[in-house]
Structure 1
Amino acid sequence: MRIGTRKSTMALAQTEDIARRLKAAAPDLDVEIVKFETVGDTDQTSKLLMHGGKGGAFVAEIRAAVRAGRLHAAMHSLKDMPGNEDTPGLVIGATLARDPPTDALVLRAGVSMEDIRRSRGKGFRLGTNAVRRAAYARRLFPDIEVIHYRGAADTRVRKLDQSEMQRLPGGGEVGPADALIMARSGLERVGLANRIAYEFSPLEMLPAVGQGIVAVECAAADWQTRRYLSLIDDPAAHLSCDAEREVLWVLNGHCNSPIAGYSTIDAARMSLTASVLDEVGRQFIEVSRSGPAERPRELGRAVGLALLDKGAAAVIERTRPEPIKG
């Protein structure tokens, strides 16, 4: 089985984990990891919306290889997969057990969480490329300066430690950063969990849809690959995947929409919370619902529709990027 993945340290670690699980479940299976340098990896200056969001930057090239038959499967971080569009001919064949989905604060030497809290962020620069994290950060620290910050997880921490300036898409530089907000699971994957200065609870910063879940995508008609992938599929993670992504589908969000969603399962019940924010975090709409865990899409649809009833569509439309000319 040929599995495609990005070349980043974290993506390779995730894909190697998939390969180990497949070999354990099916010892006769040969697994080959095929590395891709996606446009999002080669261009670490532009904002991701210039490439069609995370889907265009990190997912599209590997998906195309699956569709063309050059790969049997593709590894994605679920949060990078667009949820507001159809993917004809492809299916998520497996989701691994969910890693911690929370976001974490990484600080440069000499800065403390108490410093940032006491000042409401005034005088501090926070680096992130995620519009959701930026919006929540501005709610938590109203006076903080959020700066555009790109790169693989380990690269971002190195830039923080070395006080490097960050190049801007239109030219010029910004920075250096005093702090970064990153996924806890990503920091753990690259061996930097010791850099976590503070972990945000879901009540403070609701995770991105699918955050902490590794997904393996394959051709819908490739039943042999689907059979192998089913051997490593985590049912609870797949239920959460279906519920949270249904919210994205209902909202028809885009790559510049600060949308969050997170579900938990307790016995046969699933609880799902999702939110929509404006870019500065001032307008905030949140909905929580629960229902049978065996009907995740139904629950996701109910939450998405409730968000629309509260005005989410107008917030999403205001954050929609202008069409790229050229």
Structure 2
Amino acid sequence: MVSVSIRIGTRKSTMALAQTDDIARRLSIAAPELNVEIIKFETTGDNDQTSKLLIHGGKGGAFVAGIRAAVTSGKLHAAMHSLKDMPGNEDTPGLVIGAMLARDPPTDALVVRQGISIEDIKCSRGKGYKIGTNAVRRAAYARRLFPEIEVIHFRGAADTRIRKLDNRDMQKLPNGGEAGPADALIMARSGLERVGLANRIAMEFSPKDMLPAVGQGIVAVECAAGDWRTRQYLSLIDDRAAHLCGDAEREVLWILNGHCNSPVAGYSKIDGARMLLTASVLDDAGNGIIEVTRSGPADRPRELGRAVGLELLDKGAAEIIARTRPGP
């Protein structure tokens, strides 16, 4: 058997490495002749865990751009990304998503520090408590669910954030100040499971209460559009249902022309030959929300995503997005 090598780039975080190890395992099973080499990258977003992601060009600039450049230059055959971190434009010149893995649970969860009960937070409507998150979507939903909560800027890898929570560390702010300590964090359930910390979940939010981020729970593998050998190998681990859902949700982002400071959410699921897609746009205070649900043929995901996105625009989503767009 002739050995074939493939180099996959990834971030150095515990969760990113776990996701990439999963890709390597799946490829090794599907193509035993394949030798998968994992190349670790320190991204801008990993090196700077204080600033808002906006100054780095959002999640795309902070976590994706550097690894993408290595694929484009030929240093890598492929790159691992969490789909929710990828820029919302539908296609990137010269690159394609060769595979999306079967979707992990897409929901968000609340992690609380020792000595605090989730019932205390619920009963007080959040008054006197601080919830940490860097996601504007999570912050907006948190303010809707707990109207008197204080949301604080909180960044870092999943295991690092929980360590900061338990140690009652103050969080450095982009303006040089500090906030905290946090009493709870909102995090992705799938991320907590990847790093072995699912036991810390105090409350899981249903999609009805907190609609997930577009692509949340889906691991994507990107490669050069003209690299047909790599595309063929990646097709062996591609999950059709996840890919269809990812395409539908990302089409909503494409239509809305959102930015990294826009509280946009979207989640789809397939039932037989049909797909149900729900997407929403919230103002950053969580006071106003526009939500649209539509169904359509599962094998035409972008048409469904386009219809949902256009209906959101008809209902005023553009105005909300414009208000959250950063100034010059």
Q: Under TM normalisation by the shorter chain, which class is it?
A: over 0.9
| Match in the other structure for 2:152 | 147
Q: Which amino acid aligns with 1:256?
A: N
| Match in the other structure for 1:240 | 245
Q: Deviations over 1:240-290 (max 9, x none)?
A: 010000000000000000000000000100000000000011110000000
Within a 5 Å distance, the mapping from 1:56-205 to structure 2 comes to: 56-84=61-89, 86-205=91-210
Assess if the C-alpha contact under 8 Å between 1:131 and 1:257 holds in 2: yes
Assess if the C-alpha contact under 8 Å between 1:84 and 1:251 holds in 2: no
Q: Deviations over 1:79-133 (max 9, x none)?
A: 0001136410000000000000000000001111111111110100000000000
| Match in the other structure for 2:3 | none
| Match in the other structure for 1:11 | 16
Assess if the C-alpha contact under 8 Å between 1:84 and 1:254 holds in 2: no
| Match in the other structure for 1:212 | 217
Aligned length, in residue pairs? 323
Q: RMSD of the alignment, in Å?
A: 0.6
Counterpart CA distance in 2 for 1:166 and 1:237 is 35
| Match in the other structure for 1:273 | 278
Assess if the C-alpha contact under 8 Å between 2:90 and 2:250 holds in 1: no
Within a 5 Å distance, the mapping from 1:308-319 to structure 2 comes to: 308-319=313-324
Q: Which amino acid aligns with 2:297?
A: P
In structure 2, the gaps of 5 or more residues are: 1-5
Counterpart CA distance in 1 for 2:177 and 2:290 is 35
Counterpart CA distance in 1 for 2:94 and 2:245 is 22
Distance change >3 Å, CA 85–CA 170, structure 1 → 2: farther
| Match in the other structure for 2:298 | 293
Give the TM-score taking structure 2 as reference length: 0.98
Counterpart CA distance in 2 for 1:131 and 1:233 is 30
Counterpart CA distance in 2 for 1:322 and 1:2 is 40
In structure 1, the gaps of 5 or more residues are: none
Assess if the C-alpha contact under 8 Å between 2:46 and 2:63 holds in 1: yes
Identical-pair percentage: 82
Stretches of 4+ moved more than 6 A in 1? none
| Match in the other structure for 1:45 | 50
Aligned with 2:87: secondary structure?
A: coil
Q: Which amino acid aligns with 1:41?
A: D
Counterpart CA distance in 1 for 2:90 and 2:228 is 23
Assess if the C-alpha contact under 8 Å between 1:84 and 1:253 holds in 2: no
Say whether 1:55 aligns with 2:69. no
